[in-house]
Amino acid sequence: MAELLVRKGDFRILSDDVGKLGPNGMNELVKEAATTCYQSRKTSKKTPADFVKFLRRNKHFSMLEHSWFTFLVKMADKSDFYKVGYSLLASNSLFCLTERENAFVVSGNARVFNEAYLKTKNKIVGNMLYALNKENPVIFPYSPKYEHLSAISIERGPEMISKDEVIVHRAVAVEFNNVSRGFTHEDVRSRGGDQKIASYAQESTRYVDYFKGELNVDMFQIKFVPNYTGPQEFNREIEVLLSNGKLYHWTPRQMAEIEEAFYRALRKNGWKPEEARQWLPIGIKSQIVQTYNLNEWRHWFYLRTSLAAHPEIRAVALKLLKEFQKRMPGLFDDFECRQRKDGTGYAVYKGNSSLI
């Protein structure tokens, strides 16, 4: 029989400050995110460093986005201030920049830094890449020649001196578990832009095979996530009146039929997982890792904890918001968690919505 995950959606914070991870921790995080896609975390024998090299060889560069690096760029000459800022954004508009007196704080993930230099050969980015290569040659195997910049100094990993800097330049990686494919479909549309970075690694129905040969009929491989609202009587038969006037009897066995009579039957007949998955419903269990800077997390909570949000996403997002408020006091306090009479929760944003 197929397994029902009734309101089991949850999360695991992989790192609440990705930029503070050392080289080994950063490589491990990239591997954790990447192995989500093929559900190979328990079976992969590669070390984190070897796994990152494997990703690079196979050009799976999107997985390198689950990383974070910050620099402080200081200018001796005020006249160079905006010229430097424009040159950085011209090399990659995804850089997150905030201003200090005669300085910029610059952050982004590995892909942002690598592609910025490849695009323009910007000397400032080249010096950043030189430092990153010395720090972690696995994620940054290419090192430009170091060029001394007389009017500019570059500092790796500066401390943040304001709330605004923390919001823009701190990244958090979260893994969502036992959520539906519908959850993840909506989730990946949460991209705010404008000093906001969103990166994803999602369980693949193309490469994850729910058919493991001739299994006992009582065993299951596919897990289903039922609705978070409406009828919750999943353990008994439910009558559904069809448009033609006939009664249809829905029971938990219907999920087993999807598994046995469709998916596994097609696999037995030679269909590949990527072909048999066409018969899988949107309610199958999924897993996703997302790495955002706090600016994007605030945008995500604004969308996903409101009353207008999908009930499944709202339920999980509200639990995560409370954890963020606990771990990072003062950064998410402008969200107020509330509860309706029916027991369901939601949040109201009390701040300036134009900043979200």
Domain boundaries, the chain: 18-161
Q: Which residues of the chain have pLDDT under 70?
A: 1, 213-220, 230-243, 247-252
Spatial distance between the Cα atoms of 279 and 259, rounded to a whole number of angstroms: 9
- pLDDT reported for residue 249: 56
Residue type present at position 348: V
Classify each residue of 73-88 as buried b or exposed e, where b means 16 or more C-beta atoms within 10 Å of its C-beta.
bbbeeeeebeebbeeb
Q: How far apart are CA 3 and CA 220, in angstroms?
A: 7
**Can you tell me the distance from the alpha carbon of 195 to that of 168, in angstroms, rounded to the nearest whole number?**
7
pLDDT of residue 256: 78
pLDDT at 67: 98
**Residue 89 contacts residue 97 (beta carbons within 8 Å):** yes
Q: Give me the pLDDT at residue 255, please.
A: 78
Please tell me the distance from the alpha carbon of residue 353 to that of residue 351, in angstroms, as a whole number: 6
Spell out the residues 6+ positions from residue 280 whose beta carbon is closer than 8 angstroms to its own.
181, 205, 210, 222, 258, 263
Q: Which of 293, 306, 287, 304 is nearest to 347 (CA)?
A: 306
Give the fold, CATH level 3, of 18-161: Gyrase A; domain 2 (3.30.1360)
Phi, psi of 136 (to 5 degrees): -145, 80
End-to-end CA distance of the chain: 44
pTM: 0.92
Q: How high is the pLDDT of residue 193?
A: 87
How far is it, in rounded angstroms, from Cα 84 to Cα 90?
10
Bridge partners (DSSP) of residue 338 are 346
- Give the residue from 107, 138, 114 showing the smallest Cα distance to 28: 138
- Structure tokens that stand for 149 in this block: 């910049």
* Span 98-146, pLDDT tens digits: 999 999 999 999 999 999 999 999 999 999 999 999 999 999 999 999 9
Q: Which residues contact 113 (CB under 8 A, 6 or more apart)?
A: 69, 92, 125, 128, 129, 132, 140
DSSP class of 2: P
Position 259 scores a pLDDT of 85
